[in-house]
């Protein structure tokens, strides 16, 4: 895809800076169509006849300053540059409309960040324009709906009933005038049952942490007569005591003369968002523990070796083995964090080449045999030979198999069994990892591939980051495959990955070209 070209105006009276700018654009092959103005007067004339995506303007010019130029820059981001800047000058520039501020240096290294500055300034301007349009549209919509409320109750009711957010409206006496379908679902009440009843009889709010009753946004609007929002840990207690974490905002309903005739509250179920917050909190706690434990061991054994000059060679070798294993543990953890970071940012890259999946799986099994041996777990494999090759990313496939086996080892008690198999059927390579470990509760199965998710096991919680299965799923999807899970609590789990082979490539014999 051809990158978008940006039209840049450089206002600079120093010829060396002009030449450095040109050189930077050429050397980095930047997509800029630039115009250079050597004075304030020339810049004003240029701005009067042309439209630019961004303006770079030096503070001191032969016939004025950057502030003379900023007055002529209309609806265009401007970057302020100076070699004699101060915090006061920077603040003044930003208040005058500059979108960014750069300090020049003698080596002109400030030009190295120019591409990022340009991109950010233009993106910020685009976002501002979109936000302005959105606000204008929102203000207009609110104004229209407010003016029509008295005359178009039926139309409003139809509109509200189709909204995804829950809406409840009460009159000045706190009696329910409206309850849309989403609100019926969250509260457990039908509108016909509660019309005219006090809102306090229908729902209440409690705090998630202290479990004590708290004022609802409607209660706060009654006191303040202005828009009020719920608190971070609010829980709505609905019919039959059913609880639901919600995010709520309430606003007064007013006549044209300003008289408040009622209150409308919009609220939504935020159970998923709070669960994500909890998982992220658990993730930070787990990562801290997972990092601290091996680091503590490495430091302890290293210090012992440093200060014990008479340590037997056999003991030294044992300590070094432990340090090596703990380092491997840290590497796995950090690689997992980096991998999920790439997934989150959308920068994960699949390099497709012919892959011998049988060999990859066998290598993963061999790599983890020592880890299984530590728990006296029997790690077996049934990997067919001469399977067709997969056009995929070998490193990602290895990560997939490694994560599944490592997960099985983690959740299989001492003396358990794990079987890894690779087969080919119906144009698919089938990788299966089965164990007879703890298993997964039925209610947790739909969530286990979520990032940071860890099954809550009271009394036997296993440390981990909740990243392994998220990485596995992402790799499977990037290879156009699918993954199934069969599990029973305390009886084990079986993860089966299906990777389609569109055009089977026969495995080559050793040494064959």
pLDDT score for 343? 64
Q: How many CB atoms lie within 10 A of CB 48?
A: 8
3-state helix, strand, coil in the chain (%, to 5): 45, 25, 30
Would you state the structure tokens that stand for residue 283, as one six-digit string? 């993730």
- Helix/strand/coil for 359: helix
CATH number for the domain running over 161-269: 3.30.450.20
**Sign of the alpha-carbon torsion through 41, 46, 48, 54:** negative
User: For residue 234, what are the β-bridge partners?
Assistant: 207
Yes or no: say if 51 and 73 are a contact pair by the CB < 8 Å rule: no
pLDDT score for 234? 85
Specify the residue for token string 């719920």: 230
CATH number for the domain running over 6-127: 3.40.50.2300
pLDDT score for 149? 59
DSSP assignment of 32-58 equals EEEEEE-SHHHHHHHHHH---SEEEEE
Domain 274-345 adopts which CATH fold?
A: Helix Hairpins (1.10.287)
User: For residue 487, what are the β-bridge partners?
Assistant: 493
Alpha-carbon distance of 372 to 418, in angstroms, equals: 9
pLDDT score for 509? 42
The domain spans of the chain are 6-127, 161-269, 274-345, 353-500
Dihedral through CA 206, CA 207, CA 209, CA 212, nearest 10? -60
pLDDT along the chain (513 residues), means of 10: 79 89 90 90 88 88 85 84 76 80 82 85 84 83 72 64 81 88 87 89 83 86 88 84 87 88 88 75 69 84 87 89 84 74 68 91 92 91 88 91 91 92 92 92 84 67 70 89 91 94 54 41
Domain 353-500 adopts which CATH fold?
A: Heat Shock Protein 90 (3.30.565)
pLDDT score for 103? 83
């Amino acid at each position: 895809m051809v990158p978008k070209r940006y039209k840049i105006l450089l206002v600079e009276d120093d010829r060396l800076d002009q030449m450095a700018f040109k050189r930077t654009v050429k050397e980095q092959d930047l997509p800029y169509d630039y115009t250079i103005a050597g004075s304030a007067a020339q810049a004003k004339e240029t701005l009067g006849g042309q439209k630019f995506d961004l303006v770079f303007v030096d503070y001191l010019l032969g016939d004025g300053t950057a502030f003379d130029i900023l007055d002529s820059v209309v609806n265009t981001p401007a970057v302020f540059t100076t070699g004699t800047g101060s915090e006061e000058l920077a603040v003044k520039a930003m208040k005058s409309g500059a979108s960014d501020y750069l300090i020049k240096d003698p080596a002109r290294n400030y030009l190295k960040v120019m591409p990022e500055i340009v991109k950010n300034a233009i993106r910020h301007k685009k976002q501002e324009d979109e936000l302005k349009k959105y606000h204008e549209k929102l203000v207009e919509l609110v104004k229209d709906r407010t003016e029509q409320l008295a005359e178009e109750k039926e139309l409003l009711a139809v509109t509200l009933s189709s909204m995804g957010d829950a809406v409840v409206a009460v009159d000045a006496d706190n009696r329910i005038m409206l309850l849309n379908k989403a609100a019926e679902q969250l509260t457990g009440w039908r509108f016909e049952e509660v019309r005219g009843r006090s809102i306090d009889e229908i729902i209440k709010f409690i705090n998630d942490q202290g479990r004590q009753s708290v004022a609802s946004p409607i209660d706060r609007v009654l006191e303040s007569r202005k828009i009020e929002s719920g608190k971070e840990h609010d829980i709505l207690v609905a019919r039959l005591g059913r609880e639901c974490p919600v995010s709520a905002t309430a606003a007064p309903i007013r006549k044209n003369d300003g008289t408040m005739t009622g209150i409308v509250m919009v609220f939504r179920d935020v159970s998923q968002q709070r669960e994500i917050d909890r998982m992220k909190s658990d993730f930070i706690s787990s990562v801290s523990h997972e990092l601290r434990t091996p680091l503590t061991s490495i430091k302890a054994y290293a210090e012992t070796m440093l200060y014990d000059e008479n340590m037997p060679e056999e003991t030294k070798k044992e300590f070094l083995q432990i340090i090596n294993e703990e380092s491997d543990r840290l590497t796995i953890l950090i690689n997992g964090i980096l991998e999920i970071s790439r997934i989150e940012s959308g920068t994960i890259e699949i390099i497709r080449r012919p892959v011998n999946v049988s060999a990859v799986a066998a290598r993963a099994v061999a790599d983890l045999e020592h880890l299984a041996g530590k728990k006296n777990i029997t790690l077996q494999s049934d990997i067919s030979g001469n399977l067709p090759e997969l056009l995929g990313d070998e490193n990602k496939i290895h990560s997939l198999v490694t994560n599944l086996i490592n997960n099985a080892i983690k959740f299989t008690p001492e003396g358990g069994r794990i079987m890894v198999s690779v087969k080919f059927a119906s144009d698919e390579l089938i990788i299966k990892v089965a164990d007879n470990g703890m298993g997964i509760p039925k209610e947790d199965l739909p969530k286990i591939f979520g990032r940071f998710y860890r099954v809550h096991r009271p009394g036997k919680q296993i440390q981990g980051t909740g990243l392994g299965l998220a990485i596995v799923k992402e790799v499977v999807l990037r290879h156009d495959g699918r993954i199934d899970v069969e599990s029973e609590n305390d009886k084990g789990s079986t993860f089966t990955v299906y990777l389609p082979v569109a055009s089977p490539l026969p495995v080559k014999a050793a040494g064959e070209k």
